[in-house]
Chain A
Amino acid sequence: GDSVTQMEGPVTLSEEAFLTINCTYTATGYPSLFWYVQYPGEGLQLLLKATKADDKGSNKGFEATYRKETTSFHLEKGSVQVSDSAVYFCVTYSKAAGNKLTFGGGTRVLVKP
């Protein structure tokens, strides 16, 4: 089945620093790729998505590019804010995986003022 590997946290940054969270995946077929964010005490929110190679998803200053050749979907933000403190999940979805989401382990990000 599919699997997703993302960098372990916690990642601690100062406000306005550059954030990168690495994510690589293995999949049979051609998955769609997502980043979900989970703020403390809340459910998951879709942050961005990409459905084909070289697509760039972007939202709230975050970006990630679907790299088929390296099977990666790294999340980046140029200048983080305290409000970006959350857990970030890299997720794949494909028919080959039984039409289910496959989650990475999550990366906790803590932004300090």
Chain B
Amino acid sequence: DAMVIQNPRYQVTQFGKPVTLSCSQTLNHNVMYWYQQKSSQAPKLLFHYYDKDFNNEADTPDNFQSRRPNTSFCFLDIRSPGLGDTAMYLCATSGDRLNSNQPQHFGDGTRLSIL
């Protein structure tokens, strides 16, 4: 059974039109991550939540934001997507970011296309 669920799997939106991607988890993990993965590249961390504590990466564009209303759900909001934001967006969870033995669990991703 899927433990990290991302919706939708595929999303097409217009240039400049706000879009929201969702992630839910059944693992009751403290930490939730959002990554951006462009074609043939490794995933790039955008930000993460440790419980309700939001941690943004220094080079994450300002039009990328996130919300975590409860332990199970986390959203990625792109306020004004540009063509360069076309990518796969991956959500991941882990039980404890301070425990290096705990791997991150990834969802299947949302493939976002900006037209």
- A and B pair up: yes
Q: Which residues of A contact B (CB under 8 A)?
A: 31-32, 34, 36, 41-46, 49, 51, 89, 93-95, 99-101, 103-106, 108
Could you tell me if A44 and B90 are in contact, using CB atoms closer than 8 angstroms?
yes
A residues less than 8 Å from B108 (CB atoms): 41-43
A-B CB proximity, top 7 nearest = A103-B42, A43-B106, A32-B100, A44-B106, A43-B108, A46-B103, A99-B97
Name B's interface SS.
Answer: loop
B residues neighboring A (CB under 8 Å): 4, 6, 40-43, 45, 90, 92, 97-98, 100-101, 103-109, 111
The tally of CB-CB contacts under 8 A between chains A and B is 48
Q: A43-B90, A89-B42 are in contact. Are A101 and B100 (CB under 8 A)?
A: no
Contacting residues, chain B, for A31 (C-beta < 8 A): 100
CB distance from B87 to the nearest CB of A (A): 13
Using A44-B90, A100-B45, A103-B42 as known contacts, list a sample of 13 further A-B pairs with CB atoms less than 8 Å apart, ordered by residue number in A: A41-B108, A41-B111, A42-B108, A43-B108, A44-B43, A44-B106, A49-B101, A89-B42, A94-B100, A99-B98, A99-B100, A105-B41, A106-B40
